[in-house]
Amino acid sequence: MKKSVYSICGMCAVRCPIRVEVENGKVVWIEGNPNDAAMGRSLCAKGASGIALEYDHERPQAPMIRVGPRGAGQWKIVSWDEALDHVAGKLKTIMEKHGGKAIALSDRGGPYNDLTKAFLRAVGSPNYFTHGATCERNAHHAVKNLLGYGRGAVKYDYKNTKHMVFYGRNIVESIMVKEVKAVTEGLAKGAKMTYIDPRASVTAGKATRYWRIKPGTDYALNLAIIHTLIKRDLYDKDFVTRWTTGFPQLAEFVKPYTPEWAEQETEIPAEEIVAFCQEVAEDAPHVIFHGGWMNSRYPDSLYASRMAVIINVLLGSVEMPGGMWFAKGPGAAGRKGLKTLVDLMPKPTDPRCDGVGTEIKHIDAGPGLIHLLYPCIETGKPYPVKAYFAYRHDPLLANPDPEEQKRIFENLDLLVSIDVNYSETAWHADVILPEATYLERDNILQAVSGLKPAFYRRQKAVEPLYDTKPMWWIVKELLKRLGKGDLFPFETIEDIWNYQLKDTDVKIGDFDAKGFVSLAKDPIWMDRKDGLKFPTPSGKIELVSSVMEKAGVPSFKPYEKPSTGPEGSLRLTHGRCGYQAHGQSTNNPALHELLKENVLWINTKEAAKRGIKDGAMVEVSNDAARGKIRAYVTDFIHPDVVFMLHGFGRTVPAQTRAYGKGLADQIFAKGLLSEWDKAGGGVTLLECFVNVQPAS
Ligand SMILES: Nc1nc2c(c(=O)[nH]1)N[C@H]1C(S)=C(S)[C@@H](COP(=O)(O)OP(=O)(O)OC[C@H]3O[C@@H](n4cnc5c(=O)[nH]c(N)nc54)[C@H](O)[C@@H]3O)O[C@H]1N2
Ligand SMILES: Nc1nc2c(c(=O)[nH]1)N[C@H]1C(S)=C(S)[C@@H](COP(=O)(O)OP(=O)(O)OC[C@H]3O[C@@H](n4cnc5c(=O)[nH]c(N)nc54)[C@H](O)[C@@H]3O)O[C@H]1N2
Ligand code: SF4
Ligand SMILES: [Mo]
520: confidence class by pLDDT, cuts 50, 70, 90: very high
CB 301 within 8 A of CB 680: yes
Ligand 3 centroid–CA 50 distance in Å is 10
CB within 6 Å of ligand 2 — which residues? 12-13, 46, 135-136, 167-170, 173-175, 196-199, 201, 213, 215-216, 218, 292-294, 297, 573, 575-576, 578, 580-582, 643, 686
pLDDT > 70 in the chain, percent = 100
Question: Among residues 302, 306, 275, which one has the least CA distance to residue 290?
Answer: 306
Rounded CA-CA distance 538/536 in Å is 5
Q: Are 400 and 666 in contact (CB under 8 A)?
A: yes
Question: Which pLDDT value is given to residue 407?
Answer: 98
- Nearest ligand to residue 131 Cα: 1
Question: Which of 295, 584, 688 is the best mutation target for the ligand 1 pocket, counting ligand atoms within 8 Å of the beta carbon and taking the most?
Answer: 584
Instruction: Tell me, in angstroms, the distance from the centre of ligand 2 to residue 368's CA.
Output: 22
158-322, what's its fold? Answer: Dimethylsulfoxide Reductase; domain 2 (3.40.228)
Q: Which atom of ligand 1 is nearest to the CA of 12?
A: 24
- Residue 678 has what pLDDT? 96
pLDDT digits (tens, 9 = 90+) for 408-462: 999 999 999 999 999 999 999 999 999 999 999 999 999 999 999 999 999 999 9
Instruction: List, in sequence order, every beta strand (DSSP E) within 95-134.
Output: 103-107, 128-130
- pLDDT at residue 677 tops 90: yes
pLDDT band at 623 (very low <50, low <70, confident <90, very high): very high
Cβ 592 under 6 angstroms from ligand 1: no
**How high is the pLDDT of residue 696?**
86
Mean pLDDT, range 18-22, rounded to an integer? 98
- CB 649 less than 6 A from any atom of ligand 3: no
The dihedral over CA atoms of 165, 167, 173, 176, expressed in degrees to the nearest 10, equals -70
pLDDT tens-digit readout, 161-213: 999 999 999 999 999 999 999 999 999 999 999 999 999 999 999 999 999 99
The 10s digit of each residue's pLDDT in 491-500 is 999 999 999 9
Would you say the CB of residue 389 lies under 6 angstroms from ligand 1? Answer: no
| Predicted pLDDT of residue 457 | 98
State the Cα–Cα distance between residues 552 and 219, nearest whole angstrom. Answer: 20
Q: What is the 3-state secondary structure (H, E, C) of 574-603?
A: EECCCCCCCCCCCCCHHHHHHCCCCEEEEE
Can you spell out the DSSP letters for 356-410?
A: BTTTB-SS-TTT--GGGHHHHHHH--SS---EEEEES--HHHHSS-HHHHHHHHT
Q: Before 215, cis peptide (omega within 30)?
A: no
Q: Where are the alpha helices (DSSP H) in 189-217?
A: 202-206
b or e along 331-356 (b: 16 or more beta carbons within 10 Å of the residue's beta carbon)?
ebbebebbbbbbebbeebeebbbbbb
Contact 601, 634 (CB under 8 A): yes
Per the prediction, the chain carries an average pLDDT of: 97
pLDDT single digits (tens) 322-379:
999 999 999 999 999 999 999 999 999 999 999 999 999 999 999 999 999 999 999 9
b/e sequence 139-178, b meaning 16+ C-beta within 10 Å: bbbbbbbbbbbbbebbbbbbbebbbbbbbbbbbbbbbbbb
Are 198 and 573 within 8 A, CB to CB?
A: yes
Atom of ligand 3 nearest to the CA of 43: 7
- DSSP assignment, residue 639? T
Residues 519 and 450: their CA atoms lie apart, in Å, by: 10
CB contact set of 293 (below 8 Å; sequence gap of 6+): 135, 136, 139, 151, 169, 174
Q: Cα separation of 62 and 435, whole Å?
A: 9
**Per-residue pLDDT for 7 more than 90?**
yes
Residues less than 5 Å from ion ligand 4, measured at CB? 135, 294
**651, burial (CB in 10 Å: exposed 0-12, middle 13-18, buried 19+):** middle
What does the pLDDT read at residue 319? 98
Average pLDDT over residues 217-224: 98
CATH 1.10.3720.10 holds for 570-694? no
Ligand 1 atom at shortest distance from the alpha carbon of 582? 23
Q: How many of the other CB atoms lie within 10 Å of CB of 517?
A: 21
Q: Is 591 in the pocket of ligand 3 (CB under 6 A)?
A: no
Mean pLDDT of 512-536: 96
User: Does 2-54 match 570-694 in CATH topology?
Assistant: no
Largest CA-CA distance found in the chain, in angstroms, rounded: 71
Any idea where the domains of the chain sit in the sequence?
2-54, 158-322, 570-694
Q: Is the CB of 10 under 6 A from ligand 1?
A: yes
Supply the residue whose CA is at minimum distance from atom 1 of ligand 3: 176
Homologous superfamily of 2-54: ADC-like domains (2.20.25.90)
Distance CA 278, CA 273 (A): 9
Of ligand 2's listed atoms, the one at least distance from the Cα of 199 is: 42
For position 577, what pLDDT does the model report? 96
The helix or strand, by DSSP H or E, that contains position 114, with its residue range, turns out to be: helix 113-123
